Amino acid sequence: MSDELLTHEEDGILVMTINRPEAKNAMTKAASEAIAAALDRLDAEDHLRVGILTGAGGTFCSGMDLKGFLRGESPSVPGRGFGGLTEKKPAKPLIAAVEGYALAGGLELMIACDLVVASVSAKFGIPEAKRGLAAAAGGLMVLPDLIPHKVAMELALTGEFITAQRAYELGMINRITEGSALDGAMELARAINANGPLAVRISKQIMEESRGWPRDKRYEEQAKLLPKVFMSEDAREGSLAFAEKRSPNWKGR
């Protein structure tokens, strides 16, 4: 794996750190491919239950590496999108831990994550128009689904930044931390980890996929996925653990 992405495991959590602090973690093709490989590993290894994506050196990601762009390099992975993430998410939960700036493609990486924990000093924006470019990795399509349309329009057309507090008020991020965003993300990841992994994964799948289901077919489509949860060993274990006043011993099946 490229040294442009560092990974480590802790308590079933895979932490992925974009490691280009000298370039404000601007995204390269090598870093994108490394993120895609790490996300494949997150989904493939049963003992891993939650992923965290963050950046080294006090910045999340400043977007596409413009020097690479001028050389003709694309910081995307076919079928996976920018940063190996924006077009295909992992099946397991992914949290963004944001320090400093999440700009342009960096913001698009962030909103591709399921949950976001940000430092109180973090800043967010899609300033591509200032460089004669467009936020083509989800900023123009996904952001209006997450925040009011007119606010998303203003961000896209002006390229201006917003604060962590404003992002929280808009519902773009989940939690603001006074201290380390990664510490806050680890706390959130552990809260998820305490739950049945199969229930978590299927719940995420339903919440993602149901946005595209016809309204009159939603319960019908959901019913195709729910037996994987309700007929599982974990469903019985969760009920037994509750009755016996103990912590569940999840199997993920």
Which residues are known to be catalytic? 108, 128
Residue count of the chain: 253
**Burial environment of residue 14 by CB neighbours within 10 A (0 to 12, 13 to 18, 19 or more):** buried
* Angle in degrees, CA 42, 193, 204, rounded to 5: 65
**Burial environment of residue 229 by CB neighbours within 10 A (0 to 12, 13 to 18, 19 or more):** middle
Alpha-carbon gap, residue 13 to 236, rounded angstroms: 25
Calculated CA dihedral for residues 14, 6, 77, 117, nearest 10 degrees = 50
- Mapped onto helix, strand or coil, the DSSP state of residue 177 is strand
CA-nearest of 74, 57, 56 to 65 is 74
